[in-house]
């Protein structure tokens, strides 16, 4: 059977087209492209495309765009999507990792961990990071790229100076804030709907060598969030020993999951025992404020500003401050250590129906009461890190899905206007609600840059050449 016969809805001249040489129909390749890290959606494409350059991708998109029956195309980086966003049912998945290097800037297919290694060789580093670095540049820039440095430098999409993008018409366009800004700002955080990122110019600064990494424990949620707010808004004062942190995050630590979720090189066994006892005496849950301070610039070899004065201003439980000094690289790559441990246990590739929410400051204590101390209190599925062990059964997946749904229903019932990050919706009305007042602009940009709705069908926002909803 010809290539044309194997691709559903593809134009009849595909088998003779130049892109045909880079299409793969191998069952293993199809199977790999049909799954993502979330482990929830299985949606096989008809073929996987292995480009050698951005020009190959542009040719593929132009072919679809020019066809009376356009076929869906989805770029796949490291497959870290959670709901099939990098899949194209019956269409073509573009394996971005096959792109050759050679750009002065970062290729969209490159992993952030490799960007870090390369920039550190020159004593430099990007400013803003996600917690997990084994993700592609194009993938995180299509979603936002949120991490503990965002309060200082914004998400990763706020640190891009220029991009090369292949639109849904197959056009290769260089864009920036001043050059084709409508495309630039549409693609950044545009969930793959307007173009495929093949190159990004990312802002960098001088890199530190070391990190003072702190974790502070709280029994009261409001105490932790109040201290977080203090840390991200404070002004540095070297005279008093106060220094603004470079990274701030927070976690809920459930006592019943302490050993499985928090065993790492950071905490000693005695630390975990103490923390577990604190959680047990506090209704099974405590809160962890995580803050880091970079140092080791130039000839600086130690943590210059003293932090004791700062700690005196915070309300963590006395005796429950934990500190490590680690290299900058080790700190940024910290989640990978947990990944290796879970891979060794066969627990990395289990279903991960994540729920990521932005909750208004005014309602965060209500969220704590209803979710952390309500829905999640007796749940064995709570995990404070990106990946956590669970059973290999569909039943448990359904429970995880139900639990996520219960949290969303609680927010809706209580009038907590949260906003999902990496959202999953099946109805166009829900997507319109998600984007709010920017929805009409979103549809307008889709009509401009991908009028036949070829790109990233896994998001299920648009369907078909008329931009119809599912």
Q: Which domains does the chain have, with CATH numbers?
A: 3-99+447-459 (3.30.43.10), 106-205 (3.30.465.10), 210-344 (3.40.462.10), 356-421 (no CATH)
- What is residue 305's predicted lDDT score, i.e. its pLDDT? 52
Q: What is the 3-state secondary structure (H, E, C) of the chain?
A: CCHHHHCCCCCCCHHHCHHHHHEECCHHHHHHHCCCCCCCCCCCCCEEECCCCHHHHHHHHHHHHHCCCCCCEEEECCCCCCCCCCCCCCCEEEEHHHCCCCCCCEECCCEHHHHHHHHHCCCEEECCCCCCCCCEHHHHHCCCCCCCCHHHHCCHHHHEEEEEEEECCCCEEEEECCCCHHHHHHHCCCCCCCEEEEEEEECEEECCCEEEEEEEEECCHHHHHHHHHHHHHCCCECCCCECCCCEEEEEEEEHHHHHHHHCCCCCCHHHHHHHHHHHHCCCCEEEEEEEEEEECCCCCCCCCCCCHHHHHCCCCCCCCEEEEEEEHHHHHCHHHHHHHHHHHCCCCCCCCCCCEEECCHHHHHHHHHHHHHHHCCCCCCCCCCCCCCCCCCHHHHHHHHHHHHHHHHHHHHCCCCCEEECCCCCCHHHHHHHHHHHHHHHHHHHHHHCCCCCECHHHCCCECCCCECC
Q: How confident is the model at residue 176 (pLDDT cuts 50, 70, 90)?
A: very high
Structure confidence at residue 262 (pLDDT):
57
User: Confidence band (pLDDT; 50, 70, 90) for 430?
Assistant: confident
Is 366 designated active site? no
pLDDT given for residue 462 in this prediction: 87
Mean pLDDT of 62-80: 86
Span of 68-77, 105-114, 253-262, 308-317 with lowest mean pLDDT: 253-262
What pLDDT, on the 0 to 100 scale, is given for residue 256? 62
Confidence of residue 407 (pLDDT cuts 50, 70, 90): confident
pLDDT grade for 14, boundaries at 50, 70 and 90: low
290 pLDDT exceeds 80? yes
Which whole number is the average pLDDT over 277-301? 83
pLDDT digits (tens, 9 = 90+) for 227-282: 998 998 887 665 655 678 899 998 888 766 665 555 567 888 889 889 989 988 88
Give the pLDDT of residue 405: 82
pLDDT at 129: 94
Residue % of the chain over a pLDDT of 90: 35
Q: Please determine, for residue 388, whether its predicted confidence score (pLDDT) is greater than 60.
A: no
Give yes or no for residue 67 having a pLDDT over 80.
yes
| The pLDDT value given to residue 326 | 93
Active-site residue (options: 36, 56, 65, 80):
80
The per-residue pLDDT for range 320-352, each reduced to its tens digit, is: 999 999 999 999 999 888 778 777 877 677 766
In this predicted structure, the answer to whether residue 100 has a pLDDT above a threshold of 70 is no
Between 5 and 418, the higher pLDDT residue = 418
Mean predicted confidence (pLDDT) in 64-82: 84
Q: For all residues of the chain together, what is the average pLDDT? A: 81
Is residue 42 annotated as part of the catalytic site, yes or no?
no
- The pLDDT-based confidence of 392 (bands split at 50, 70, 90) is very low
Q: Could you tell me which residue, 358 or 294, shows the higher pLDDT?
A: 294
In this predicted structure, what is the pLDDT of residue 393?
43
State the pLDDT at residue 4: 42
pLDDT at 378 (0 to 100): 67
Predicted pLDDT of residue 185: 96
More confident residue, 207 or 389: 207
Looking at per-residue pLDDT, the higher value among 386 and 175 belongs to 175
Q: What pLDDT, on a 0 to 100 scale, did the predictor assign at position 103?
A: 36
Q: Which of 29, 114, 131, 171 is catalytic?
A: 131
- Active-site annotation holds for 131: yes
* Active-site option among 114, 162, 249, 396: 249
Across the range 52-70, mean pLDDT stands at 88
Stretch 186-215: mean pLDDT = 92
pLDDT of residue 278: 92
Overall average pLDDT of the 71-99 stretch: 81
């Amino acid at each position: 059977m010809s290539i044309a016969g194997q691709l559903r809805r593809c134009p009849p001249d595909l088998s003779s087209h130049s892109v045909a040489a880079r299409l793969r129909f191998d069952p293993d390749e199809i199977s790999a492209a049909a799954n993502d890290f979330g482990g929830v959606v299985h949606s096989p494409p008809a073929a996987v495309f292995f480009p050698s350059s951005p020009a190959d991708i542009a040719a593929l998109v132009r072919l679809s765009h020019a066809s009376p029956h356009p076929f869906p195309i989805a770029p796949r980086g490291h497959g870290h999507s959670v709901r099939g966003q990098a899949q194209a049912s019956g269409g073509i998945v573009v394996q971005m990792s096959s792109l050759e290097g050679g750009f002065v800037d970062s290729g969209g297919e490159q992993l952030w961990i490799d960007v870090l290694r390369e920039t550190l060789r020159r004593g430099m580093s990007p400013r803003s990071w996600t917690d997990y670095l084994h993700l592609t540049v194009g993938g995180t820039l299509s979603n936002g790229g949120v991490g503990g440095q965002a309060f200082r430098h914004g998400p990763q999409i706020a640190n891009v100076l220029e991009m090369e993008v292949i639109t849904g018409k197959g056009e290769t366009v260089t864009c920036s804030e001043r050059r084709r800004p409508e495309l630039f700002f549409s693609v950044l955080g545009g969930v793959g709907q307007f173009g495929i990122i093949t190159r990004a110019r990312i802002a960098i600064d001088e890199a530190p060598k070391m990190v003072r990494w702190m974790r502070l424990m709280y029994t009261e949620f409001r105490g932790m969030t109040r201290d977080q707010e203090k840390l991200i808004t404070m002004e540095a004062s070297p005279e008093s020993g106060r220094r603004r942190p470079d990274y701030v995050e927070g976690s809920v630590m459930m006592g019943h999951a302490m050993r499985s979720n928090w065993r790492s090189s950071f905490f000693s066994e005695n630390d975990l025992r103490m923390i577990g006892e604190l959680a047990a005496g506090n209704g099974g849950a405590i809160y962890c404020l995580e803050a880091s301070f970079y140092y080791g610039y130039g000839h600086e070899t130690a943590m210059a500003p003293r932090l004791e004065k700062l700690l005196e201003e915070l309300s963590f439980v006395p005796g429950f401050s934990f500190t490590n000094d680690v290299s900058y690289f080790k700190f940024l790559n910290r989640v990978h250590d947990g990944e290796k441990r879970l891979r060794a246990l066969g627990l990395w590739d289990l279903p991960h129906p994540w729920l990521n929410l932005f909750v208004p400051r005014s309602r965060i204590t209500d969220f704590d009461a209803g979710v952390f101390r309500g829905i999640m209190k007796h749940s064995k599925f709570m995990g404070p890190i990106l990946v956590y062990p669970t059973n290999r059964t569909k039943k448990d997946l359904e429970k995880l899905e139900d639990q996520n749904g219960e949290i969303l229903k609680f927010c809706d019932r209580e009038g907590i206007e949260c906003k999902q990050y990496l959202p999953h919706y099946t109805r166009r009305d829900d997507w319109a609600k998600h984007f709010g007042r920017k929805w009409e602009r979103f549809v307008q940009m889709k009509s401009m840059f991908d009028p036949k709705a070829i790109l990233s069908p896994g998001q299920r926002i648009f369907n078909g050449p008329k931009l119809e909803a599912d």
